[in-house]
Amino acid sequence: MKNCRIQLSIYSPDSNNADRIQELVQRTNQLNFSGNRYDREEILKILADPQIDAFSMDCEDKYGQYGTVGFGIVDRKSHRLTDLMFSCRVQSKRIEHAFLTFLLKRYKALGYKSFSARYNRTKRNANAGEVFGDFAFTENSAAKNQIIYEFDLGNPIPDDKIIRVLWNGELCSA
């Protein structure tokens, strides 16, 4: 995979990205970690909310560009990933691993001691949730199919360095 030269560009979306985000949200099933669906107006509210960090992701490799392939939401108060979804175009390319590495490093640098993720397990997205085990997240709580995973930011953050990650156009460092 490293020879594919995959690059993940993460950026803060704005209203110009709302239509593609809505399309992604509505069409994603297997790689939708929350199962949530948002209409365009809800997406615009999310993007304008100062208590939410929203992330869009574009991807490319040596074969071409995939366009916008991911969307994630982090609640700043709880430092919790509440929504994460990816296009099936990047399934099995470890994009979710690269994005989680980015988030963990980002919130650790901001001084957080832990980071959590909400995952709503369904029959269709069960394989996607395996990423939390790959990162040694611990299961903090579970109710029905909703699981809250926790990562202690004092622990080493896994990074297989397969994917080159950019944040707002700048290469992310170790």
Distance of CA 134 to CAs 119, 157, 158, Å? 15, 11, 9
What does the pLDDT read at residue 29?
60
Phi-psi region at 64: left, alpha or beta (left = phi > 0; alpha = psi -120 to 50): left
Q: How far apart are CA 124 and CA 119, in angstroms?
A: 13
Reference 7, options 43, 60, 53; nearest CA is: 60
Name residue 16's amino acid: N
Three-class SS of residue 122?
coil
Q: Give the domain ranges of the chain.
A: 2-171
pLDDT at 31 over 60: yes
**Chain segment 94-135, per-residue pLDDT in tens:** 889 999 999 999 999 999 999 999 988 877 777 778 888 889
Express each pLDDT in 145-155 by its tens digit. 788 999 999 99
Q: 26 φ, ψ to 5°?
A: -75, -30
Banded model confidence at residue 30, pLDDT cuts 50, 70, 90: low
d(CA 19, CA 15): 8
Provide the whole-model pTM. 0.91
CB-based burial of residue 130 (10 Å sphere; 0-12 exposed, 13-18 middle, 19+ buried)?
Answer: exposed
pLDDT given for residue 109 in this prediction: 94
In this predicted model, what pLDDT tens digit does every residue of 39-96 receive, in sequence order? 889 999 999 999 999 999 999 989 989 889 999 999 999 889 999 988 877 777 788 9
In this structure, which topology does domain 2-171 adopt according to CATH? Aminopeptidase (3.40.630)
Report how far residue 174's alpha carbon sits from residue 159's, in angstroms, rounded to the nearest whole number. Answer: 9
pLDDT, residue 100, reads 94
